[in-house]
Chain A
Amino acid sequence: MNKNHRVPSSRSLNAVEVKSKFGAEFRRFSLERSKPGRFDEFYGLLQHVHRIPNVELLVGYADVHGDLLPINNDDNYHKAISTANPLLRLFLQRKEEADHGTFGTDSLTRKKNTVLSAVLLRPDHNKKKPPVIISLPKDFRPVSSIIDVDILPETHRRVRLYKHGQEKPLGFYIRDGSSVRVTPQGLEKVPGIFISRLVPGGLAESTGLLAVNDEVLEVNGIEVAGKSLDQVTDMMIANSHNLIITVKPANQRNNIVRSGVGGGGGAASGSSGRSSDSGASYYGYSSHSAAASIPPHIIQNFPVGELESDEDEEDLVIEAGGEAEPIRHVASNHSMSSLPRYEPHLNLRTATTPSPDRAMERGSLEEDGTVITL
């Protein structure tokens, strides 16, 4: 992995030096590189060596690029151990004191700078401009993801776009076209559906996972072969809140090379290998089973449990309670709050009821059983 760096010494092959800093205190110890153990054991070890058994900690380490990265699960713990070269520098914080801006690119150097500037230069200026807060991955709302990598041929990509509650348009167009398939009779030209345009600033473009001339193979698990452009359009719009499209990228050079399959040959194994995904195609939101076994090198920045596809389909029901009033008065009071209206009560209403327009609020409404009482 770190071939570009200097050849590791024999010592670093079996043991990792750890330098752990908590407040002003340092502790040094070493770990077996081949048997790092689990994160919770490591966490207990840290509490033990620092003698702070009941303090909740945030654990961070400096990686080879000098970034401060978190250690909070087995994966990144193992990553940290394996990349330690040879010293693993740890930074511990109390959880209640921790600011989430700690981790991230340049965080170490910036911290140094701020300390310096805070001491030497103009402290007021820096207090006004706190560093950009980057939250933990669980706080992010996913925008897009590549899913089902393990069951799809390398030439295909299944992309999930999360539209819910966003102002950003999906921002892409599709068109008719023809593609070449390998059949027992030889090459055959078959009609296909292709992405024809990406709207600048749209969701599709910003993810970087879709490109013009990518061939659309499936929409939410249903093959588009044999369907007309209008049918595919309707299917995509019907699924637009949680759109999963399987494409064959026009540019095959960025494909993920799966470790199991002989690397490099991915592009060659071509479209004939589609059988593996067609098994799961119908109603095939196979993301649950797939996500559980996703290899660690897959970008996966959202919890698996949120994959449930129907949560965004919840219709909004507004119940107009109260006694019978002449409707001419009622009509203006009990209007659909998700639709902005020309009403004088507009600000009044938003003050009393949470605007259900945004995704966050909608989520909370759903917990109450989909009915709101105005």
Chain B
Amino acid sequence: MLSLFKYLQTSQFLGGETLKQLMFMLTVEHGFPHQPSALAFDPKLQLMAIGTKSGAIKIYGAPGVEFTGLHNDTTAVTQIHFLPGQGRLLSLLDDNTIHLWELVAGPLREVGGVKKEGVVSLQEVNTYNLPGRPGIESCSATRVTVLLLLKSCDLLCVGTEGGGVYFLEVYRCGIMDNVCFHFPSLPDDYRCGKSLGPVEALQEHPQQSGKILIGYSRGLVVLWDLSIRHAEQLFLGKQQLESLVWERSGNLFVCSHNDGGYSVWAVTSGSTCNHQPVSSTIPYGPFPCKAISKILWRTTQAGSPVLLYSGGMPRASYGDRHCLTIQQDKDHVTLDFTSRVIDFFTVHSVDINPLSPPSAVVVLLEEELVVIDLQTPGWPSMPTPYLAPLHSSAITCSCHISSVPPKLWERLVNAGKAQQSRQHTHRSWPICGGKNLAPPPKQQELLLTGHEDGTVRFWDASGVALTPLYKLSTANVFHTDCDPSDDPQDPSNDPDMQQEEEEWPPFRKVGCFDPYSDDPRLGIQKISLCKYSNKLVVAGTAGQVIVLGLSDERSDHLVDVSVVDLLYDREGFTWKGHDRLEPRSKPAPFPPGFQPLVVVQCLPPASVTAVALHAEWNLIAFGTSHGFGLFDYHRRNAVLARCTLHPNDSLAMEGPLSRVKSLKKSLRQSFRRIRKSRVSGKKRTITTPTSKVRDSEQEEVAPVQRRIEPRSADDSLSGVVRCVCFADTFLRDGTHHGPTLWAGTNSGSVYAYALEVPGVGSGRVCERGGASESSVCVEAVLGKEIQLMHRAPVVSICVLDGRGKPLPDPYEASQDLAIAPDMTNAHSVLIASEEQLKVFSLPKVSAKTKFKLTAHEGCRVRKVAMVVFSSTAQEDYSEHTLVCLTNLGDMHLFSIPALRPQVRYDCIRKEDISGIASCVFTRNGQGFYLISPSEYERFSLSAKVLTEPLCFVQLDRPLEPTPTRSGHTHTHTHTHTHTHTHTHTHFFLLPFSPFFFFLLSLILPLHHSLFFL
């Protein structure tokens, strides 16, 4: 009866309530888009768009306002153009297709029980293929080089490689013009065969609409009047053209050149052919300079214009720098970036005063977004509220903390502000389009990322925009190779610190992308934070485990250092890897925030592979490839050091560096192979075809084989400690519970120690009577050793209470922050290995339930987490579930403690090893994994907890896409693309297309386009 009831209850819950809605959903991407390739800005809507090489388009406005679109093909987006104020944009892809995107009202969404109206999303509306002209010219002739959308937004000018400029009508059924110039009087220098060479730039006259400036690659610039289809003026530049920009009045324009110079031309009516610019400058001359790829000329009310241009560096001395120059009067700054400049634009104050000076310049670099405040003297940089460069140093690990207590949050925010105040301006973020409709987060969430340079960055992960809160550097605990006087806090990020270089050009380092680590040993491997006691444990590549406490005051102190030798009882082993880091012998200054208390250094200094913190007992546990240790940071003494090495394991002693060596060796070999093949390739031209065949046969790869052999105890790296955890449970008998430490290794061994912590587990102390008073130290006694017979690596250990729920975190129960664990019924321990999930009873370790995942599915467990799924219908109902991510990238959910499989989702591509390795789960069913070195994908398994962009943009046009229209558009597009490859009949279809879209046809009779000057 009871079991039936139980069954009903469970099934009801699982079937009807949560799990039906429980779904895997990718919600938002955090961080900086990988390989950005295009940038655009809509000054009316204050929206910025970024296109990437993988065909993604992302629109950003005010913090929290984000739209994402993905082209069907993963082709690089080369250009993006907004139709200002319309919430539409055009994208040009590398495959010569133009796509029209539109912000449309999405379907009604129910989020967290609240219906959201007016949520806007980005959708692709139309696609246009630009075909080559069959027979006449090669396809490259119609390859689009530049797009210009006229201010009226109804005409799109398309410049091509072949020198033709095409005009596409955007709104009405489009008949388009094709302009091909023939200037008999032109010198041959400006010709490229029959045509004029690639169109490099198109700019519309700022005052007189219908006049456009066409710049050709060879230096020729033509002022073209659209209305009378007549070339008004010619400007015969001497240098290869890179870009064009109008002065606001339309009396001047500036063009930048391939030789690192720019010239200013006057547009005076009358003269049809200009040979000389007003002025011509090579700012970083006289030695040869690189091209100025883009130039902007912005007039200000004050008088002297602001000139911004990218590139133009002296080729020999600074040819490798990525620079943007800002020039106004005598102010001249050369911003020196660490990655390539993709594009940049200026933002003007929102009231569209034609003379308003630029308030900021937004620079899109390959690895980050930099915004410079142009209104504050000194042009400081602005912190970005989104597009955080997560990868400013490579991410090595991550850790998520949910429901952060407000006090800790506030202190972190303050510590972060103290760091930023020196660096940034406090002006508000200039890009402020759209409205964030997402409800304010119910709780604060922290994402901690560990980096290769020894920093831990704290990110506000509560909302859609991942914003930096605070940065902790652990490098200053140690002596490193870098200059000790150099502030290790932030060498690159601080403009105050730059040496005032007297040299020319006046460089200023901007941005925080710094992929080079001073010392790879500083890299962070594991992080653990106790959010109630504000204790943080950070463990790194050289066996360092640092315990830090939060402090609001700056402090100069010496950090205690302890060394724990994990091989103290073993002989015959010598570590061949890197040395341990040398701790500072003098007191070092530590800024407000997390300040180190104790440093534990493992010997041998192998990378720390597991760490656990129990702040209530003042204990930390850590594991490396050699063993694990237990340290009492309150009394500053090592309690336990246990070696897990198998005597035959020689690889464990190599250390990562020797593996680097072998990598080097293999690189060298592969280079040799390449060289060899080059040589043999030359030979091959002489050899006979038969020998060639033999060669190819030899190169044919042997079929991939896999050895089938059970794991044995002496497999290499079997001693690697994969997980450590603390639990207050029953280890020795069923009546007394007390602190325990659990550790699992790569070879399926689990060690359980009973801990004697003074003041904790009083029952035990009483039993021992007088002995306990004398023992003021924490003691550890081996309680159990479990050897899993399948010997698969132990991924996770979790102790479950009498109700089968995971034990709460330290302080949670004692401070009434969580339901107290059931200590009256028997506990159990869940051991997750790569192959099996198994629940054992405690204290007598006997198997209760298990699930052999690998035997059934052929996949191996990579990540395991205990997740609480809350019910959307019942406020107070929640259920614990075990989530497993496997090496195939799928997620399996299991009930606890029955280990019944519930659902399975395909999540990450199985080839994406770093994505799978980087995955972290939150307590409430969300998670993060890296989709590129710089981007976290956030996903949700929970119906209740979703963090996704919900935004609205105020537009003049109706936001709802009418179904008939889109349907029609679709069919028509289909016809269009279908027919154009065969015949030109599609041309006759054009007049019937009734609604908004633009159509293009490049195959038009030439009578429209022949013009003679």
Choose among A222, A283, A331 the residue that contacts B569 (Cβ–Cβ < 8 A). Answer: A331
Question: Are the CB atoms of A342 and B710 closer together than 8 Å?
Answer: no
Report B-chain residues with C-beta under 8 Å of the C-beta of A338: 713, 787
Question: Are the CB atoms of B789 and A241 closer together than 8 Å?
Answer: yes
Question: Are the CB atoms of B782 and A241 closer together than 8 Å?
Answer: no
Choose among B646, B703, B781, B854 the residue that contacts A330 (Cβ–Cβ < 8 A). Answer: B781
**Closest CB-CB distance, A266 to chain B, in whole Å?**
28
- Which residue among B639, B703, B709, B854 has the maximum number of chain A CB atoms within 10 Å of its CB? B709
Beyond A238-B835, A326-B779, A330-B781, whether A222 also contacts B708 by CB under 8 A is no
Question: Are the CB atoms of A327 and B847 closer together than 8 Å?
Answer: no
Choose among B647, B703, B781, B783 the residue that contacts A325 (Cβ–Cβ < 8 A). Answer: B781
Interface size on A, residues (CB 8 A): 61
Report B-chain residues with C-beta under 8 Å of the C-beta of A341: 647
Complex Cα distance, B569 from A273, in Å, reads 61
Beyond A231-B858, A235-B858, A342-B571, whether A177 also contacts B784 by CB under 8 A is no
**Chain B residue at minimum C-beta to C-beta distance from A174:** B706
B833-847 interface with A by 8 A CB criterion: 835-836, 838, 844-847
Complex Cα distance, B580 from A93, in Å, reads 75
Complex Cα distance, B7 from A4, in Å, reads 67
Report B-chain residues with C-beta under 8 Å of the C-beta of A243: 708
Is A99 at the interface (CB under 8 A from chain B)? no
Report B-chain residues with C-beta under 8 Å of the C-beta of A335: 785
- 12 more A-B residue pairs beyond the given contacts A222-B858, A313-B790, with a C-beta to C-beta distance below 8 A: A175-B704, A227-B858, A233-B706, A234-B854, A238-B855, A241-B710, A241-B789, A316-B786, A317-B786, A320-B782, A330-B782, A340-B647
Question: Are the CB atoms of A229 and B704 closer together than 8 Å?
Answer: yes
Q: Per-position contact with B for A310-342: 1 when CB-CB < 8 Å, else 0?
A: 001111111110101111101110111011111
Report B-chain residues with C-beta under 8 Å of the C-beta of A320: 781-785
A215-267 interface with B by 8 A CB criterion: 220, 222, 224, 227-241, 243
Residues of chain A whose beta carbon lies under 8 Å from any beta carbon of chain B: 163, 169-177, 196-197, 220, 222, 224, 227-241, 243, 283, 312-320, 322, 324-328, 330-332, 334-336, 338-342, 369-371
Question: Are the CB atoms of A336 and B706 closer together than 8 Å?
Answer: no
Complex Cα distance, B854 from A236, in Å, reads 9
Is B6 at the interface (CB under 8 A from chain A)? no
Complex Cα distance, B854 from A334, in Å, reads 32
Question: Are the CB atoms of A238 and B790 closer together than 8 Å?
Answer: yes
Residues of chain B whose beta carbon lies under 8 Å from any beta carbon of chain A: 569-572, 639-642, 646-647, 703-711, 713, 749, 753-754, 756, 768, 779-790, 792, 835-836, 838, 844-847, 852, 854-860, 887-888
Complex Cα distance, B857 from A318, in Å, reads 31
Question: Are the CB atoms of A173 and B571 closer together than 8 Å?
Answer: no
Question: Are the CB atoms of B782 and A327 closer together than 8 Å?
Answer: yes
Question: Are the CB atoms of A314 and B710 closer together than 8 Å?
Answer: no
Question: Are the CB atoms of B706 and A197 closer together than 8 Å?
Answer: no
Complex Cα distance, B840 from A369, in Å, reads 13
Complex Cα distance, B642 from A317, in Å, reads 18
**Chain B residue at minimum C-beta to C-beta distance from A243:** B708
Complex Cα distance, B86 from A55, in Å, reads 107
Question: Are the CB atoms of A370 and B845 closer together than 8 Å?
Answer: yes
Complex Cα distance, B389 from A49, in Å, reads 98
Complex Cα distance, B713 from A170, in Å, reads 15
Question: Are the CB atoms of B789 and A324 closer together than 8 Å?
Answer: no
Beyond A313-B790, A327-B781, whether A240 also contacts B708 by CB under 8 A is yes
- Which residue among A171, A313, A314 has the maximum number of chain B CB atoms within 10 Å of its CB? A313
**Closest CB-CB distance, B574 to chain A, in whole Å?**
15
Report A-chain residues with C-beta under 8 Å of the C-beta of B783: 319-320
**Closest CB-CB distance, B456 to chain A, in whole Å?**
31
Question: Are the CB atoms of B704 and A327 closer together than 8 Å?
Answer: no
Question: Are the CB atoms of B708 and A236 closer together than 8 Å?
Answer: yes
Report B-chain residues with C-beta under 8 Å of the C-beta of A240: 708-710, 790
Report B-chain residues with C-beta under 8 Å of the C-beta of A227: 858
Which 5 A-B pairs rank lowest in CB-CB distance, beginning with the nearest? A231-B858, A240-B710, A238-B854, A233-B706, A316-B787
**Chain B residue at minimum C-beta to C-beta distance from A331:** B642
Report A-chain residues with C-beta under 8 Å of the C-beta of B706: 173-175, 229-230, 232-233
Question: Are the CB atoms of B785 and A317 closer together than 8 Å?
Answer: yes
**Chain A residue at minimum C-beta to C-beta distance from B846:** A370
Beyond A240-B709, A324-B779, A370-B845, whether A220 also contacts B855 by CB under 8 A is yes
Question: Are the CB atoms of A238 and B779 closer together than 8 Å?
Answer: no
Question: Are the CB atoms of A196 and B709 closer together than 8 Å?
Answer: no
Beyond A176-B703, A240-B708, whether A334 also contacts B785 by CB under 8 A is yes
Choose among B704, B709, B844 the residue that contacts A237 (Cβ–Cβ < 8 A). Answer: B709
Report B-chain residues with C-beta under 8 Å of the C-beta of A231: 857-859, 888
Complex Cα distance, B642 from A326, in Å, reads 13
Report A-chain residues with C-beta under 8 Å of the C-beta of B647: 340-342
Report A-chain residues with C-beta under 8 Å of the C-beta of B779: 324, 326-327
Question: Are the CB atoms of B858 and A317 closer together than 8 Å?
Answer: no
Report A-chain residues with C-beta under 8 Å of the C-beta of B838: 315
Question: Are the CB atoms of B792 and A336 closer together than 8 Å?
Answer: no
Question: Are the CB atoms of A315 and B704 closer together than 8 Å?
Answer: no
Choose among A234, A326, A332 the residue that contacts B860 (Cβ–Cβ < 8 A). Answer: A234
Choose among B710, B781, B786 the residue that contacts A315 (Cβ–Cβ < 8 A). Answer: B786
Question: Are the CB atoms of B708 and A324 closer together than 8 Å?
Answer: no
Choose among A169, A197, A336 the residue that contacts B709 (Cβ–Cβ < 8 A). Answer: A169
Report B-chain residues with C-beta under 8 Å of the C-beta of A313: 789-790
Question: Are the CB atoms of B784 and A238 closer together than 8 Å?
Answer: no
Complex Cα distance, B854 from A243, in Å, reads 13
**Chain A residue at minimum C-beta to C-beta distance from B712:** A169
Question: Are the CB atoms of A170 and B756 closer together than 8 Å?
Answer: no
Report A-chain residues with C-beta under 8 Å of the C-beta of B704: 175-176, 229
**Closest CB-CB distance, A46 to chain B, in whole Å?**
47
**Closest CB-CB distance, A369 to chain B, in whole Å?**
7
Complex Cα distance, B845 from A319, in Å, reads 9
Question: Are the CB atoms of A235 and B854 closer together than 8 Å?
Answer: yes
**Closest CB-CB distance, A357 to chain B, in whole Å?**
9
Report A-chain residues with C-beta under 8 Å of the C-beta of B569: 331-332
